Amino acid sequence: MAGFGELPLGALNLYGTGPNAFNEESEQVGLLVAAHAAVAFADSQKISQLAKPWLPGS
């Protein structure tokens, strides 16, 4: 799972055409893509929260 701290933000599922379709380099690329997606998703959540008006007691 990709995320920050203890909060997972999602999962990246990859499918191959057969057994052993992915090697160590493929795994590293997948982790890189997942990390970038997690950063983008977390930033979009923060921006969305900033756009909401703050209401006392909420």
Looking at residue 39, what is its pLDDT?
A: 86
Tell me the per-residue pLDDT of 1-56, one tens digit each, with 9 for 90 and over: 444 556 677 788 889 999 999 999 999 999 899 888 888 888 887 887 777 777 67
- Long-range CB contacts (within 8 A, 24+) of 32-41: 34/2, 34/10, 35/2, 37/2, 37/10, 37/12, 38/2, 38/3, 38/4, 38/9, 38/10, 41/9, 41/10
pTM of the model: 0.62
The answer on pLDDT for 57 being more than 80 is: no
